[in-house]
């Protein structure tokens, strides 16, 4: 898919999520069950869990987790791990299920300010059912619900898992492009004026890239383990799909490193520019102080309450004008010297 089409595709999807946010809030506790059949790709939402179905669990209660754990022999600690924002990505193969835990990107917004972070997504593959557990509704899974993923069947569990992982890597790439665009906008603002809020925005974007770097490296370990994992049944083209996932993840890692280095260099450059500008201002103020001090010193000498004998022009009618002209000449000489020394 071309990069431009890819970018607008994700933009359209994210806008649809925002518009539907009131209908299905992130904090809503829900268990949704979906299933489709070979030759009938459209997902059906079920009232109860069936074989070959997909159970999407979003921000569940402890009671809901306990029911899933009891009925399908999934360890409670593993289920809760998918809700722990500090949990690392990993792959574990148990007697009754395989658990895949990966970090996914999410965008948060507060008081009109957006930032990007990562949260875990748990995928539990039992003999006949796939469970996904996440703290929030995510665009990665919404694509499957909206029928935007081709060749998706709930009974093809391994392919389904790889498609989730592919969408995850693609979403990382999309958010990276958004972060890069935002960083360029902030840089343009900084070229015009140095506002603290703009520098803080650059810092926040750099922090987002640090989160992404950690998440992508952790996900890479899981993907490499999946390549060697023999506990999952593979369908035709599954291996090729997994390779595509690994390639997308590596591309996201490389882009993150590039953007991070560029952003770090940009912040360092603007910091140096600000320091240099401050030094220039201090040099200018010091030079002005020196220039203004010279006539002050001369006038101070003539202002002393002493006998005028021996003081040049002290008794002359044109004394004031002469002293003023002399002070001006001294100031001009000082200006010339300071300019020659590149101080002024």
Q: Quote the pLDDT of residue 258.
A: 94
pLDDT in tens, 69-101: 999 999 999 999 999 999 999 999 998 999 999
Instruction: Please count the other Cβ atoms lying within 10 Å of the Cβ belonging to residue 58.
Output: 20
Task: Please tell me if the domain spanning 18-275 has the same topology as the one spanning 276-340.
Answer: no
Regions of the chain where pLDDT drops below 50: 1-2, 4-6, 8-9, 12, 15-29
Q: Please enumerate in sequence order all residues whose Cβ is within 8 A of that of 145, keeping only pairs 6 or more positions apart, or say none.
A: 32, 34, 43, 56
pLDDT of residue 305: 55
CATH assignment of 276-340? 1.20.58
Domain boundaries, the chain: 18-275, 276-340
CB contact at 8 A, 104 and 119: yes
Instruction: Report how far residue 175's alpha carbon sits from residue 115's, in angstroms, rounded to the nearest whole number.
Output: 10
pLDDT at 178: 93
CATH of domain 18-275: 3.30.460.20
pTM comes to: 0.76
């Amino acid at each position: 898919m071309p990069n431009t089409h890819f970018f607008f595709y994700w933009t359209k999807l994210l806008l649809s999520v925002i518009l539907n946010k009131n209908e299905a809030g992130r904090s809503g506790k829900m268990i949704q069950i979906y299933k489709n059949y070979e030759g009938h790709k459209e997902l059906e939402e079920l009232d109860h869990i069936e074989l070959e179905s997909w159970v999407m669990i979003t921000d569940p209660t402890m009671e809901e987790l306990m029911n899933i754990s009891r009925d399908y022999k999934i360890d409670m600690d593993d289920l809760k791990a998918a809700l722990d924002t500090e949990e690392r990505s990993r792959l574990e193969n148990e007697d009754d299920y395989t658990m895949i835990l990966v970090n996914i990107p999410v965008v948060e917004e507060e008081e009109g300010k957006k930032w990007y972070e990562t949260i875990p997504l748990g995928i539990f593959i039992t003999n006949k059912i796939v469970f996904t557990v996440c703290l929030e509704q995510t665009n990665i899974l919404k694509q499957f619900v909206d029928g935007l993923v081709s060749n998706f069947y709930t009974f093809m569990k391994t392919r389904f898992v790889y498609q989730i992982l592919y969408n995850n890597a693609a979403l990382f790439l999309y958010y990276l492009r958004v972060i890069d665009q935002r960083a360029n906008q902030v840089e343009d603002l900084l070229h015009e004026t140095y506002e603290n809020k703009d520098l803080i925005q650059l810092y926040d974007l750099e922090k987002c890239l640090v989160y992404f770097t950690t998440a992508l490296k952790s996900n890479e370990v899981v993907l490499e383990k999946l390549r060697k994992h023999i506990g999952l049944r593979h369908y035709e083209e599954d291996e090729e799909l997994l390779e595509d996932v690994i390639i997308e993840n590596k591309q996201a890692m490389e882009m993150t490193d590039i953007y991070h280095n560029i952003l770090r260099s940009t912040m360092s450059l603007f910091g140096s520019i600000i320091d240099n500008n401050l030094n220039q201002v201090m040099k200018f103020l010091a030079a002005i102080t020196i220039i203004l001090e010279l006539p002050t010193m001369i006038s101070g000498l003539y202002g002393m309450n002493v006998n005028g004998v021996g003081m040049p022009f002290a008794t002359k009618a044109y004394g004031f004008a002469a002293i003023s002209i002399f002070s001006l000449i001294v100031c001009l000489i000082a200006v010339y010297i300071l300019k020659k020394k590149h101080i002024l």
